[in-house]
Structure 1
Amino acid sequence: MTERELTAPVALTLPNGRVNPDAIGWARQPIVDTSGIGRGRGRNKRWEYWNVTTPTHILALTVSSIDYAAVHEVWVLDRATERTWSQGATVIPARDFELPAGVETGPARGRAKDLDIEVLPEEGGTRLRARIPDASFDVFAALPAGHERLAVVVPWSATRFQYTVKDVARPASGSVTVDGVTHDVPAGESWAVLDHGRGRWPYDIRWNWGAGSGVSGGHTIGIQVGGRWTEGTGSTENAALVDGRLHKIHDELEWDYDIAEWRRPWRITGGGLAASFTPFYDKVTRTNLGIVASRTDQCFGHWAGTFAVPGGDAVRFDGILGWAEEVHNRW
Structure 2
Amino acid sequence: MRRELTPGDLLDGHGRLAQPGWARSEVRRYDRSAVAANRLRIKEWDYYCVLTPDHGLALTVADNGYMGLLGVSWLDFAARTETTENVMTPFPLGRLRLPASADTGDVRAEHRGLLLEYRHTAAGRILTVDHPRFGNGRGLRGELVLAQPAMDRMVIATPFPDAPKAFYYNQKINCLPASGEITVGEDTVRFEPDSAFGVFDWGRGVWTYDNTWYWGSASGVVDGKPFGFNIGHGFGDTSAATENIVFSGGVGHKLDEVTFHLPAGTYDGADWTFTSNDRRFEMTFTPILDRAATTDLKILASVQHQVFGRYSGHVVLDDGSRVEIHDLLGFAEQVRNKW
Partner of 2:313: 305
The 8 Å contact of residues 3 and 240 in structure 2, kept in 1 or not, is answered as: no
Q: How far is the alpha carbon of 1:261 from its aligned partner? A: 2.3
Give 5+ residue unaligned stretches, structure 1.
Answer: none
Root-mean-square deviation (Å): 1.8
Letter in 2 for 1:139: L
In structure 2, how many angstroms separate the alpha carbons of the residues matched to 1:259 and 1:297? 14
Partner of 2:31: 35
Partner of 1:129: 128
In structure 2, how many angstroms separate the alpha carbons of the residues matched to 1:172 and 1:87? 22
In structure 2, how many angstroms separate the alpha carbons of the residues matched to 1:179 and 1:151? 38
Deviates most, 92-101 or 106-115: 92-101
Partner of 1:109: 108
Deviates most, 252-261 or 118-127: 252-261
* Matching residue within 51, 68, 78 for 2:49: 51
Secondary structure class of the residue paired with 1:42: helix
TM-score by length of 2: 0.91
Any idea what the Cα deviations from partners look like across 1:172-219, whole Å, max 9, x if unmatched? Answer: 111110003222011200000011000110000000000001112323
TM-score by length of 1: 0.93
Any idea what the Cα deviations from partners look like across 1:238-265, whole Å, max 9, x if unmatched? Answer: 000011101111x221211126222311
* Matching residue within 324, 336, 339 for 1:316: 324
Any idea what the Cα deviations from partners look like across 1:245-296, whole Å, max 9, x if unmatched? Answer: 01111x2212111262223111111131111111110000101111111000
Give 5+ residue unaligned stretches, structure 2.
Answer: 134-138
Is 1:210 the equivalent of 2:209?
A: no
Letter in 2 for 1:120: R
Distance 1:71 1:319, change over 3 A: same
The 8 Å contact of residues 216 and 319 in structure 1, kept in 2 or not, is answered as: no
Any idea what the Cα deviations from partners look like across 1:299-331, whole Å, max 9, x if unmatched? Answer: 000111111112231111112111000000000
Q: How far is the alpha carbon of 1:230 from its aligned partner? A: 4.3
Letter in 1 for 2:192: P
Which aligned pairs between 1:124-203 and structure 2 lie closer than 5 A?
124-132=123-131, 133=133, 134-144=139-149, 146-157=150-161, 158-203=164-209
In structure 1, how many angstroms separate the alpha carbons of the residues matched to 2:13 and 2:107? 25
In structure 1, how many angstroms separate the alpha carbons of the residues matched to 2:14 and 2:123? 36
Is 1:221 the equivalent of 2:244?
A: no
In structure 2, how many angstroms separate the alpha carbons of the residues matched to 1:254 and 1:85? 29
In structure 2, how many angstroms separate the alpha carbons of the residues matched to 1:300 and 1:149? 22
Q: How far is the alpha carbon of 1:234 from its aligned partner? A: 3.0
In structure 2, how many angstroms separate the alpha carbons of the residues matched to 1:255 and 1:89? 31
The 8 Å contact of residues 98 and 107 in structure 1, kept in 2 or not, is answered as: no
In structure 1, how many angstroms separate the alpha carbons of the residues matched to 2:61 and 2:115? 10
Partner of 1:73: 71
Q: How far is the alpha carbon of 1:232 from its aligned partner? A: 5.1
In structure 2, how many angstroms separate the alpha carbons of the residues matched to 1:88 and 1:206? 21
The 8 Å contact of residues 231 and 252 in structure 1, kept in 2 or not, is answered as: no
Identity of aligned residues (%): 32
Q: How far is the alpha carbon of 1:170 from its aligned partner? A: 1.0
The 8 Å contact of residues 10 and 30 in structure 2, kept in 1 or not, is answered as: yes
Is 1:257 the equivalent of 2:262?
A: yes
